[in-house]
Amino acid sequence: MHCMKKYLNSRGLDRGPSRRTFRLRRGFTLIEMLIVTVILSVISLAIYSSFASGMRIWKRLSAPSESEDQVVFFDRLGHDLRNAVKISGTALSGSEDQVEFLLLADSKAMGIRTVSRAGYAYEADSGSIKRWLQDYSAMFTGLEPGKRIVLSGVSQAKFSYYFFKQDEKSYAWIDRWSNVNLPLAVRVELEFDRSHGGGNVSRTFSIPVGSVEKNAN
C-alpha cells in the first residue's frame, strides 16, 4: 500500500482537489453576479420594448378606419356635388337626413351628358344611405328613380349646409336648405354601428358653383 501511494505521488495523481475544482465549489463571485444582473436587465428591456411596440401596432390596426365602402361612398358624393349646377328654380333641397340637387351626368337612356337630379337619403330602419339618379327625360315624364344602397351599417347620419350670412357678414352651417342658390359646401357626419367597425366620420365637400349668399326663397 505504501509503495502504491509513492507511485501515485511520483505520477502526480494523488495531489488532492485542484484549484479549478475548488473555485467551482466555492460559488460565484460578486463581479460575476453583477455581470449576470446587467445582462438580464438588458434582455428584459429589449423584450419590453418589443412588446410595447407590438401593442402600439395592434392598437393602430384595430382602430376604426374607413372601409372600402366608405371610401367609395365619399368619392361618389364628392363627385356628384362638384358637378352640381344651378339652372332654374330650387338648385338644391336638403335636410338633416336627405339632400337632392341638380347636376350634369351621363344618361344611359339618352346616350348623352345631360342635366339630372341626384339624391342621397339616410334610412334609419335599414341603417343605410341610398342614392338615386334621375336624368332629364325621367324628370320630364315624372318617372320615379330607382334607389340603391350605397352605404350600410350607419346608425346615424346628418347633412348640413354652409353659406354666408349677408346681414351678419359671417359664415354659418344650417340643417336645412331650400333655395334658388347652391350652398358653398355640404357636410355629412356619419356614425357606424359596431358590426361595421363603429366610430364617427365627418367629411365636407365644397361646391364650385355655390353662391356666397343665401337668397330668400
Angle at 182 between CA 140 and CA 97, to 5 degrees: 80
| 101 grid coordinates | 340637387
SS3 call for 175? coil
Cα separation, 93 vs 103, whole angstroms: 13
- Domain of 196? 68-206
Chain segment 120-134, per-residue pLDDT in tens: 999 999 999 999 998
Q: What is the pLDDT of residue 217?
A: 43
Residue 59's pLDDT band, with cuts at 50, 70 and 90, is low
Cα separation, 204 vs 101, whole angstroms: 16
In a domain? residue 142: yes
In a domain? residue 77: yes
In a domain? residue 107: yes
Percent of the chain predicted with pLDDT > 70: 79
- Amino acid 160 reads S
In a domain? residue 87: yes
Q: Which among 120, 113, 83 is positioned nearest to 209, based on CA atoms? A: 83
The dihedrals phi and psi of 26, each to the nearest 5 degrees, come to -75, -25
In a domain? residue 15: no
Q: What is the pLDDT of residue 215?
A: 52
* Number of separate domains in the chain: 1
The one-character DSSP state at 194 is G
Q: What is the pTM of this model?
A: 0.65
In a domain? residue 86: yes
Q: Which among 101, 119, 105 is positioned nearest to 179, based on CA atoms? A: 101
In a domain? residue 60: no
H/E segment holding residue 164: strand 154-165
In a domain? residue 35: no
